[in-house]
A and B are shown apart, each in its own frame.
Chain A
Amino acid sequence: MGDSNKIVLRGRKVVGGVAEGEALVTKDRISGWGGIDPRTGTVIETRHELRGKSFAGKVLVFPGAKGSSGWSSQFHVARLAGAAPLAMVFNEMTTKIALGAVVTHAPSVTDLDRDPLEVIATGDWVKVDGDRGIVEVTKKG
């Protein structure tokens, strides 16, 4: 098929590298410590819309980080446990997410020219080129 259902977003590198996979999208900010189980990549926060779902091996698309300063160390442990996201796409820059993305070693992009939460849906195929700050979205179906 052609590129007719492909959408390209342009932003800024947070962490370099290229990865692609299925998107997991949430409009809720994510807590690290106390918000995820790093051994499985599962969101555990009580009132979170992704509660019970795992981001392991997914392209995680979310507004940003919140909560404890244990954010980076939880995603760090998730990487070592093989349960980290493949890549991250997010809107709000904070120290938690910057450091978290860096130690997760996952290609990550922010400051995109369109809101990724509007453009990308869970299940879409997403390629994140961290070095060029480009996110390519192939809509599902």
Chain B
Amino acid sequence: MKLTAQEQAMLDGRDGPARQKAMDLLVRYGEALGAGRLVDTNNVCGTVGASTPFLRDYGARHGMDAVFSEFSLDSAEVVEIPKVSVHASHLQQGLDPDHAELQGIPPEVVKVYRQGEAYTMKLGVQPLNTCAPYTVGNVPKMGEHCAWMESSAVIYINAVLGARTNAEGRESAGAAMLTGKIPYWGYHLDENRLGTHLLELDVDVRSTAEWGLLGYYVGEMVQECVPVLAGVREAPDLARLKHFGAAAASSGGVEMYHLAGFTPEAPTVQAAFGNRKPIESLKVGKAELRKAYEQVNSTAKDPDVDYIMLGCPHYTLGQIEEACRLLQGRRVHGNTSLWIFTPRATKQLADRKGYTKIITDAGAHLMSDTCSALGRVLPKGTKVAAVDSAKQAHYLPAIMGVQCWFGTTADCINAAVTGKWSSELG
């Protein structure tokens, strides 16, 4: 890999040991990829804190510079971490400090979390604490080179906003924060953003849940390729695109897609393929969505639901409003819990608008910063969960060993109120 004089100087230690370690990691990573060079970035989203169980223990024993050295720079040697060089945002965390007791998090763990957050902010990382930074002020522009983690956010900013990022990991994002560099590879380059597979829709896809199912099917079919969807009849909103992408990045490894006529690099099907021919053409109809529905629901058997989780990826204000509309004047069943997750900034708006009160009056909770799969936080004794996110339905049973139903937002709210699962999709 070719380095500029400035990059070589960082690698030689001119800017101190932390940036030297960061550049060393970027070189090892870039060469593993087969990248020819690095590219400048001024927009990094990553995870620096020590809020998940393994990292909390590590942080408590060795301190936060050791956490950053090992887990963000791949350096066993502990180096002092300076302020970040570029605009950096923090992704979701392992718990919500304002709902710690409910989430079964002991006070000493909250203390470690607070120390981690203070450390992170001291480094200059913005505490957005969400998997959906693009809903709370970090909206990259078309063509902007970014270094983002979080597969659901990566696919959103690539496909919907036309920004350029690969799915970075904790270590490469950490190194990018200190250097403003990331390998120039993959979706940073024009040719890799073009479509590979054509998917012709022959079914109306309406609800957010249906967009999630479509994403789940598409991800399963194309894995890490770039699908182009043709035949979309109605423009999907932010929430639908968020759920579509999150699902496609869970069943497969999709990081970029095109909706012909809707996303910025796909004014037409032809443009999306850059005049190349699709590797494969597939039809997506009712049967395909049905298959995805059955796969997403493969862990669920018991109709008695203990726990309903909404907000994967973190809910937008509009989705909170929809949940409130469905919930208003009703009460969550005595045997169930309803937790809704949103970015902290959106939670503050919900507080002011009165949505939080509607939710708490119904016996539910509006939480921020984390989710059940990431933080491994569930109501005590949960055996059967229900969600409106194909991504969460994919991960939650694997991580927490629970059954998980998937359906529409209305299905989920009904289950929260009745304690019983039934789906308008089933």
Q: CB within 8 Å of B: which residues of A?
A: 12, 14-15, 29, 34-35, 38-39, 44-47, 64-73, 76-77, 80-81, 92-96, 98-103, 108
Q: How far is the CA of A69 from the CA of B32 in the complex (A)?
A: 17
Question: Could you tell me if A72 and B54 are in contact, using CB atoms closer than 8 angstroms?
Answer: no
Size bracket, chain B contacts: 35 or more
Q: How far is the CA of A35 from the CA of B70 in the complex (A)?
A: 22
B119 at the interface (CB under 8 A from A): no
Question: Could you tell me if B54 and A77 are in contact, using CB atoms closer than 8 angstroms?
Answer: yes
Question: Could you tell me if B32 and A102 are in contact, using CB atoms closer than 8 angstroms?
Answer: yes
When A29-B253, A66-B253, A69-B154 are in contact, do A34 and B298 touch as well, CB less than 8 Å? no
Q: How far is the CB of A50 from chain B (nearest CB, A)?
A: 13
Q: What secondary structure prevails in chain B residues at the interface with A?
A: helix
Contact partners of A14 in chain B: CB under 8 A = 32
> Which of A15, A64, A93, A95 is the one whose CB lies under 8 Å from B169?
A95
Question: Could you tell me if B169 and A29 are in contact, using CB atoms closer than 8 angstroms?
Answer: no
* B112-161 contacts to A (CB < 8 Å): 148-151, 154
> Would you list the 9 A-B pairs with minimal beta carbon distance, nearest first?
A72-B169, A66-B253, A34-B395, A98-B32, A95-B166, A69-B149, A73-B170, A69-B167, A99-B169
B425 at the interface (CB under 8 A from A): no
Q: How far is the CA of A80 from the CA of B295 in the complex (A)?
A: 34
Contact partners of A12 in chain B: CB under 8 A = 34
Which of A69, A76, A93, A101 has most chain B Cβ within 10 Å?
A: A69
Q: CB within 8 Å of A: which residues of B?
A: 25, 28-29, 32-34, 47, 54, 70-71, 74, 148-151, 154, 166-172, 183, 185-186, 223-224, 249-250, 252-253, 295, 298-299, 373, 394-395, 397-399
Q: How far is the CB of A77 from chain B (nearest CB, A)?
A: 5
Question: Could you tell me if B33 and A72 are in contact, using CB atoms closer than 8 angstroms?
Answer: no
> Which of B33, B71, B253, B373 is the one whose CB lies under 8 Å from A34?
B373
Q: How far is the CA of A81 from the CA of B149 in the complex (A)?
A: 23
Contact partners of B148 in chain A: CB under 8 A = 69
25 chain-A/chain-B pairs, Cβ below 8 angstroms: A39-B54, A46-B397, A64-B224, A66-B223, A66-B253, A67-B250, A69-B148, A69-B150, A70-B149, A71-B169, A72-B170, A72-B171, A73-B171, A76-B70, A76-B171, A95-B169, A95-B172, A96-B167, A96-B169, A96-B253, A99-B32, A99-B169, A100-B169, A102-B29, A108-B32
Q: How far is the CB of B259 from chain A (nearest CB, A)?
A: 22
Residue of B nearest to A75 (CB): B169
Question: Could you tell me if A94 and B29 are in contact, using CB atoms closer than 8 angstroms?
Answer: no
Q: How far is the CB of B286 from chain A (nearest CB, A)?
A: 22
Contact partners of A108 in chain B: CB under 8 A = 32
Q: How far is the CA of A65 from the CA of B395 in the complex (A)?
A: 16
Contact partners of B150 in chain A: CB under 8 A = 68-69
Contact partners of B34 in chain A: CB under 8 A = 12, 93
Q: A29-B252, A68-B395, A95-B185 are in contact. List 6 more A-B contacts (CB 8 A).
A: A67-B151, A67-B249, A69-B148, A95-B167, A99-B172, A102-B25
Q: How far is the CA of A14 from the CA of B29 in the complex (A)?
A: 9
Contact partners of B253 in chain A: CB under 8 A = 29, 64-67, 94, 96
Q: How far is the CA of A92 from the CA of B150 in the complex (A)?
A: 20
Contact partners of B224 in chain A: CB under 8 A = 29, 64, 66, 92, 94
Question: Could you tell me if A46 and B169 are in contact, using CB atoms closer than 8 angstroms?
Answer: no
Q: How far is the CA of A64 from the CA of B74 in the complex (A)?
A: 21
> Which of A67, A73, A93 is the one whose CB lies under 8 Å from B71?
A73
Q: How far is the CA of A115 from the CA of B295 in the complex (A)?
A: 29
Contact partners of B394 in chain A: CB under 8 A = 34, 46
Q: How far is the CB of B139 from chain A (nearest CB, A)?
A: 19
Q: How far is the CB of A31 from chain B (nearest CB, A)?
A: 8
Residue of B nearest to A108 (CB): B32
Q: How far is the CA of A72 from the CA of B186 in the complex (A)?
A: 17
Question: Could you tell me if A38 and B54 are in contact, using CB atoms closer than 8 angstroms?
Answer: yes
Question: Could you tell me if A73 and B395 are in contact, using CB atoms closer than 8 angstroms?
Answer: no
Residue of A nearest to B35 (CB): A98
Q: How far is the CA of A103 from the CA of B250 in the complex (A)?
A: 22
> Which of A15, A71, A95 is the one whose CB lies under 8 Å from B186?
A95
Contact partners of B183 in chain A: CB under 8 A = 95
When A47-B295, A64-B224, A100-B169 are in contact, do A93 and B33 touch as well, CB less than 8 Å? yes
> Which of B166, B171, B185, B398 is the one whose CB lies under 8 Å from A35?
B398
Question: Could you tell me if B171 and A103 are in contact, using CB atoms closer than 8 angstroms?
Answer: yes
Q: How far is the CA of A50 from the CA of B412 in the complex (A)?
A: 32
Q: How far is the CB of A120 from chain B (nearest CB, A)?
A: 21
Residue of B nearest to A51 (CB): B398
Question: Could you tell me if B71 and A46 are in contact, using CB atoms closer than 8 angstroms?
Answer: no
Q: How far is the CB of A102 from chain B (nearest CB, A)?
A: 5
Residue of A nearest to B397 (CB): A46
Contact partners of B70 in chain A: CB under 8 A = 76, 80
Contact partners of B154 in chain A: CB under 8 A = 69
Q: How far is the CA of A69 from the CA of B149 in the complex (A)?
A: 6
Q: How far is the CB of B371 from chain A (nearest CB, A)?
A: 11
Contact partners of B71 in chain A: CB under 8 A = 73, 76
Residue of A nearest to B186 (CB): A95
Question: Could you tell me if A29 and B398 are in contact, using CB atoms closer than 8 angstroms?
Answer: no
